[in-house]
A and B are shown apart, each in its own frame.
Chain A
Amino acid sequence: MDFQTNLLPHHLKFYQEGTIELLEDILPTVEVTEDIFKNYLKTHHGVFFTLYGIDRNFLILFFDQNLEISQCLEIGNTMVSQLANHMSKLKGEVILVSPPQKITDNKINFFTFNKSFAHHYTYYYKQEKHTTQIQVWLVPHSQREGFSNA
């Protein structure tokens, strides 16, 4: 497993609601385009966080629209706090996290204008009666910065 795979949790017990599990260990690196995110927004809630360290990154999450938005925000909060904590320990720097923001069509070019390559993670959110997927993207703020390991 590589550095990026280990940045986010593999398994998470989410309160009494269920568990969140990473679908696979080998993660694709994908060029982010407006179309990818616009298509997600047609059928998903989108939430993003900005992580401020020496590098700046976005954590972007897309959830099934049947989930309550406040539950999506809390899943995002949980994941981003683990990510920031992990990055901070690996890099030895303070990572600050923005509050969650909802993604709208006019915010998409914010993530894609650099034509960055991003890491795409797929999670299963297993609740008592149903399972949904959570699509998670870790996008560097600029291509030149990219992701760096410690």
Chain B
Amino acid sequence: MAKTVLVVDDITFVRKTLIEILQKSHLQVVGEAEDGEKAVELYRKLQPDIVTMDIVMPEMSGIEAARKILKIDKNAKIVMISALGQENLVMEAINAGVKDYILKPFSEEEILKTIEKALTSDERLTGRASQRTQKSL
């Protein structure tokens, strides 16, 4: 059975690009949201296997939405989508419990590889993995 994805980004173009990439693979996009509030609402309703979450959005940020989703489901798998220069926000998201992050503008290969890794990993980026990420940022 195909793994399901919820795509969250306030820019239509980015959502469209992500959906195109994901639909070409074995993943099934079950929903899309343009802000954090809608993302939380859709997560409750759709229970996707993984969420791609833009880090900066109006109304409710990606970090806040990730925190709320992880409160609903502590095993939720979330990959943050970030722009260059948002290292502090990425660290905040990792400390909140998200699985991984990808920098914009991303390639098809990077997206699929990161999502695959997050789906097969049962550990959060905490402890030693988090320290490694902190160094690489």
Contacts and interface: CB of A to CB of B under 8 A. Distances in A.
B85 A15 contact: no
In this complex, the interface size class of chain A, counting residues with CB under 8 Å from chain B, is 20 to 34
A128 interface: no
B83 A81 contact: yes
Interface stretch (B35-43, B44-52, B104-112, B121-129): B104-112
Contact of A74 (B11, B21, B58, B86): B11
A73 B108 CA distance: 20
A13 interface: yes
A77 B17 contact: no
Nearest to A71: B13
A14 B105 contact: yes
Interface in B55-108: 58, 83-86, 104-108
B58 to A, nearest CB: 7
B12 A77 contact: no
Please classify the interface of chain A as helix (H, G, I), strand (E, B), loop, or mixed, using the class held by over half of its residues. helix
A9 B48 CA distance: 37
B58 A77 contact: no
B85 A85 contact: yes
B80 to A, nearest CB: 14
A84 B83 CA distance: 11
Contact of A81 (B12, B14, B20, B84): B84
A82 B103 CA distance: 12
Contacts of B13: 68, 70-71, 73-74
Nearest to B83: A81
A16 B86 contact: no
Nearest to A73: B11
B58 A13 contact: no
Contacts of A85: 84-85
Contacts of A13: 105, 107
Contacts of B108: 16
B85 A77 contact: no
A78 interface: yes
Given A16-B20, A81-B85, 5 more contacts: A17-B17, A70-B13, A70-B16, A81-B84, A85-B84
Interface of B: 11-14, 16-17, 20-21, 58, 83-86, 104-108
